[in-house]
A and B are shown apart, each in its own frame.
Chain A
Amino acid sequence: MLAFALRRGLTLALTAWLASVVVFAALELIPGDPALMMLGVNAQPDTLAALRAQMGLDVPPLERYLRWAGGLLRGDLGTSLTYARPVADLVAERLVVTLPLALLSLVMSTAAAIPLGLLAAARRGRGGDWAVLGFAQIGVALPSFWIAILLILVFSVGLGWFPAGGFPGWEAGVWPALRALILPALALAIPEAAILARVTRTALLDTLGEDHIRTARAKGVGRAAVLLGHALPNALLPVATVLGLQLSFLVAGAVVVENVFTLPGLGRLLYQAIGQRDVIVVQGVVLLLAVVVVLVNALVDIACAAADPRPRALS
C-alpha cells in the first residue's frame, strides 16, 4: 500500500516536471513576444530591449527555465510578465472564482444525480427508470458551452434573473457573487449529473444483488430502507470514483464555460495568458491543474486499490 502510494507520488512529480517542460518548450516555440505585446506597434528596439530585460527575458531559455524551476522548488511560482504580479497571487485571486464554481457544480450534479439514480433503481424498468436513463443519455450529449448559451438565453436575456456574464467579486456580497456563478455551475453540472445518475443507478442495482442486501431483505427490512440504508452507502464509492475521473473534464469544461460567461477564473486566466505569451502564468496554472488532476486520479486509484484487493485491474 505504502509502496504503491510512493510510486504514485514519484509518478506525480515526474508528470508535473514533464508538463512544465512541455509547456515551456511550447511557449518558447510559438511566435509572439510578451514585450512587443505590451508595447505595441510604435515600440522602438531599445524600449523592447529594456522591457525584455525588466521581464527577465534577456537570458537564454534554458537559464530562464532553470530559474523558474529553482523558484518553484522554493515555493515561488514567479512573477507574471503581463500583470507584473506574483503568479501565486493571481492564481489565488482566480481560485476564489473557479473553486466555488467547480464545487457548486459538483454539489448541484450530485444533489440531482443521487436522487435520480435512486429513483431509477427503485423503479427499475418502469417509467421513472426510462425517464432517468433518457435524461442521462441526452444530458451527456449536450456540450456544456451550448447549455451555457441556452441558460443565458432563458435566464438572463429572457427572464433577467441572472447576469449574462462577469463576476462582481465576493466583496460585493455573497449573494451577488453566487448569483453570477449559478448559471455557469449549472451548465457544467447538467452533463455531469447525467453521467452520475447513470453510475448511481448501475451501482445501486449491483449492490442490490449482493448477499448481505438479500439477507437484509429476507430479514424483512423494507425496500426503501434497504435502498437508502444498505445499497446507497455501498454505491457511493463507484460514484466518487467516477466523480474523480470526471475532474479533468470539469476543468476543461470550466475553461470554456468561464469564457462563455467571462468569469475571471483560472481557466480564463490561462486562456488569456496563452494569448499574451505570459509563460510564467501559463506554467504556473498548467502545473497546478496537472497536479490537481493527477492527484485526484491517484486518490481514486488508491481508493479503488483499497476497495478491491485485485491490484489496479481497473486502471
Chain B
Amino acid sequence: MLDYNALTKAVGELDEEQVLQMLKDFMAANPTEEEAQKAVAACQAGMTIVGDLFEQGEYFVGDLIFAGELLTNAIDVLKPVLGGESSSTIGTIVLGTVAGDLHDIGKNIFKSMAEAAGFKVYDLGIDQPAANFVAKVKEVNPDIVGMSGVLTLALEAMKDTVDALKAAGLRDSVKVIIGGNPVTKEACEQIGADAFTTNAAEGVKICQGWV
C-alpha cells in the first residue's frame, strides 16, 4: 500500500530515487485507476511544497526545472493505469511569450509547474502575436491565458493581446495572468489582466485559485 503522504514528502524534497522507487513498488501491486489518481494528487501536492520552498528562497530555478521533470517522469510511470488524460486535468491554460519577446525560461518553468499541478497547457512558444493567442483560445476554450515576457516592450504586446481577446469577444470567458520581469500591479491594471506575478510558483498558485 502506497503511503501517499510519504510520496508527497518525497516529491517535495525532490528525492527522485525515492519517488520512483515508491511508484515502482506501487505499480507492482496492480493498483486501481482510483489509487493511481490519488498517487498523482499526492505528487501534485508535493509540487505545491516545491513551489513554497522556491518562494522561501530554499529552492532555486534549477530545482524547479528538475521538479517539473520529476513529475513528468512520475506520471509516466503511473500512465498505464491512469485512464484518459482528462481525469487528472484541473484546468486548461493557453500560454506564450508575447510578440517581440524571445525569452522562454520563465515561461517554461511556469509551464512545467502548471502541468505538474494538473493543468493542461497549450504552449504557443515565443514571439507570439495577439492573433495566435486569439486563435488558440477560440480553438481550445481554456480557463486561463498566460502571457510571458522579459522586455519592457512586452507590456505593450500584452496589452495588444488582451485588446485582441476583447475584440474577439473572448476576454470574459478566460482569466488572464501575466508574468515576467517587467510586470507590476500598475502594468497589470493598464493591460487589463486579472493577475500578475514575477514568480512561476506563485503564478501556478493563482491559477489553482481560479479553477
Partners in one complex: no
On B, residues with C-beta under 8 Å from A are none
